[in-house]
Structure formats: C-alpha cells, structure tokens
Structure 1
Amino acid sequence: MRNHASEEMNILKNSQLDISHCCQATLENLKEKPWQAIIKKIAHNWRTRNRLSQLNEAQLKDIGLTAADVDHEVNKPLWK
C-alpha cells in the first residue's frame, strides 16, 4: 500500500511540474510577443482589405458582398 501511494505522489508531482512548465512557457510567450501578434494582424488586415477594395461589382457578387459591405470593412481600424 505504501509503494502504491508513493508512486501516486510521484505521478502527481510530475504532472504538476509539467503543468507549471507549460504555464510558464505560455506566460513567457505572452510577455515577449504581443506586439508581434498585433503587427501581424494589422499587416494581414491591411493586405486583405486592400485586395477587397480592388474587387469589381461582379467579383463582389460572386462572393456575396455588396459595395456597402466592402466600405464598412475597409473603413474599420486596421487593428480590428
């Protein structure tokens, strides 16, 4: 019985260490790279909105959008 309890304690300690390591790694990523994610999103929004604004009426109709939809999307701030 004592060995079994000891094994369970070791498993529990190891799993807690794994969770702790995972949480620390996640926090480090969040602290180091939030600005990169923001810049990446802004660049993506700029590219896609620029391409969207260049579509003609027939192309917009093909994808189910109107000129008003495009105008609304293009005029949003780049970070949104």
Structure 2
Amino acid sequence: MRNGTSETLSNNPCHQIGISQCCKATLENLKEKPWKAIIKKIAHNWRTRNRLSRLNDAQLKDLGLTAADVDHEVRKPVWK
C-alpha cells in the first residue's frame, strides 16, 4: 500500500497540474460519459456480482474461480 510521500504526490497528475485544473479535467471527463451509461454500468456490475456470489463451488470450479476470487470481486464498489 502506498503512503502519502512527496514522490507519490509528484506522480499524481492532479498534483502536477494544480487542483483547479484537475477539477476542470474531472468535470470534462464526466461530460464525456453520459450519466445514463454510468448508471447502466453500475446496474450491470451489481447484477453480475450478485449472480456470481450465488454460484456453488462446482460452478466456480468450472469457471476457474475460487471463493476468494468471488469475495474480492463482490467487495468492489459497484461503480468499479
């Protein structure tokens, strides 16, 4: 896990260009991705992770997944 060293901060693009420019870049990025697409992605992630969590061990084995893989995926935020 990274800590907040000056090296880490200097590698952060937002730190290099300034906070106000970073905010503008983030707003531009949000304008490029319509909210409908974002909501659609969140719904898709929620549905697929919900179904994944319901698979039994034999089904997971067929997919080449472990219970730890499923746990890792299910714990992610729905927007990721």
2:65 match: secondary structure: coil
Provide the aligned C-alpha RMSD in A.
Answer: 1.7
TM value normalised by structure 1 = 0.59
Q: Which of the two has greater helix per residue?
A: 1
| Corresponding residue of 2:43 | 43
Q: Distance in 2 between matches of 1:31 and 1:41?
A: 16
Percent pairwise identity:
88
Q: Distance in 1 between matches of 2:48 and 2:76?
A: 12
| Corresponding residue of 2:21 | none
CA deviations 1:8-31 (Å, max 9, x no partner) are xxxxxxxxxxxxxxxxxxxxxx84
Which structure has the higher relative contact order (CA within 8 Å, separation 6+)?
Answer: 1
Q: Which runs of 4+ in 1 moved over 2 A?
A: 30-33
Matched residue type, 1:73:
E
Structure 2, unpaired ranges of 5+: 1-29
Alignment of 1:35-74 (within 5 A): 35-74=35-74
| Corresponding residue of 1:79 | 79
Count of residues paired in the alignment? 51
